[in-house]
Structure 1
Amino acid sequence: MNLGIFKRSKEIIINSPLRGEIKRVEDAPHEVFTSNVIGDGCAIEPTDGIIHAPVSSKVEIFKTNHLLIFEPKKGVYVVIHFGVGTSPLKGEGFTRLPKGELKEVVVGDELVSCDLDYIASKAKSLMTPIIVSNDNVQSLELLVKPGDLVEVGTPLMKVKVK
């Protein structure tokens, strides 16, 4: 009898939450992202201002709407930080799309609308790092390369969980 169907998947596919151009996370203009202190990943130079859920999971959207944290597996976190230097905007230029408090999302759900023109005029950069924490991650494989143009839902990374 094969009980393999009950095995929990050890891989997670992280999809693109934005439409835009892939950049190396090391090119993000802030040392928090370039130092890999939080984890590894990639960045997107967005051409569209709607952030979608990159995975089906638990979610926390910060009050300022510029920072979203997903937990697709216990101890694995996917962090989306829209732009660099956006924290001081205190949420201006960002609109949460679902009303009320969210606890869980399905991949592709529209979560936050970002006014690209406003944010670009006030923040250091629109480049948006997408970081996977290294806490419970065995390996991370980028499925895209710098310069690639991606649509929402394009697979960005394959994560193997410990």
Structure 2
Amino acid sequence: MTLQVLSPVEGTALPLSEVGDPVFAQAMVGPGIAVDPARGAGDAVAPIDGTVVTLHPHAFVVATDSGAAVLVHLGIDTVQLKGDGFTLHVVKGETVRARQRMISWDPATIEAGGRSPVCPVIALDATAEALTGLRQPGQVAAGEPLFTWQR
């Protein structure tokens, strides 16, 4: 199975190694890519079609019927905000389509609070070799491809 994973936000694609958190930078939770989001209020969208299996104000996981799961983390250390500044538009267990609005947030506010707004997009339980076509560093729009996951 081949799964195309889309960018959840508009911004600048970056290698995971540039994320300021070793858990993501060293791919401890899985391989993927990061997006430094455009500043200003905006929406994070679903990176794939699937079911919302984990939902926090600052992060979510969407899984396909075949079990492929993609984690989107909105900013680094944003769990400490306890949901402040995030508006959920879906519920856990909901079926979503790629590009569907999931969470509204403002990366500039996150940054002003001293945290990085960079968004890791992780293929959970994948190997680095399973990801192909990784987006080169540079501008990316929400809903544009970040990588392909060969399962």
Give the structure-2-normalised TM-score. 0.89
Instruction: Provide the residue aligned with 1:50 in structure 2.
Output: 43
Deviations 1:49-73 (CA, angstroms, capped at 9, x unpaired): 310011110113534x111101124
The 10-residue stretch of structure 1 (74-83 or 115-124) with the greater mean CA deviation from structure 2: 115-124
Gaps of 5+ in 1: 1-9
User: Is 1:86 equivalent to 2:74 in the alignment?
Assistant: no
Deviations 1:26-48 (CA, angstroms, capped at 9, x unpaired): 11101110121111010000016
Q: What percentage of aligned pairs have identical amino acids?
A: 26
**1:62 aligned counterpart, secondary structure:** strand
Instruction: Provide the residue aligned with 1:16 in structure 2.
Output: 7
The two structures, once aligned, show a CA RMSD in angstroms of 1.9
How far is the alpha carbon of 1:126 from its aligned partner?
A: 0.6
Describe the shift of the 1:61–1:114 C-alpha distance in structure 2 as closer, same or farther (beyond 3 A).
farther
Gaps of 5+ in 2: none
Contact preservation (8 Å) 1:44, 1:129: yes
1:1-162 residue pairs with structure 2 within 5 A?
A: 10-47=1-38, 49-63=42-56, 65-98=57-90, 101-135=92-126, 139-146=130-137, 148-161=138-151
Distance 1:116 1:35 in 2: 23
Distance 2:98 2:55 in 1: 19
Distance 1:21 1:15 in 2: 13
**2:130 aligned counterpart, secondary structure:** strand
How far is the alpha carbon of 1:143 from its aligned partner?
A: 3.5
Distance 1:75 1:61 in 2: 13
Distance 2:127 2:134 in 1: 20
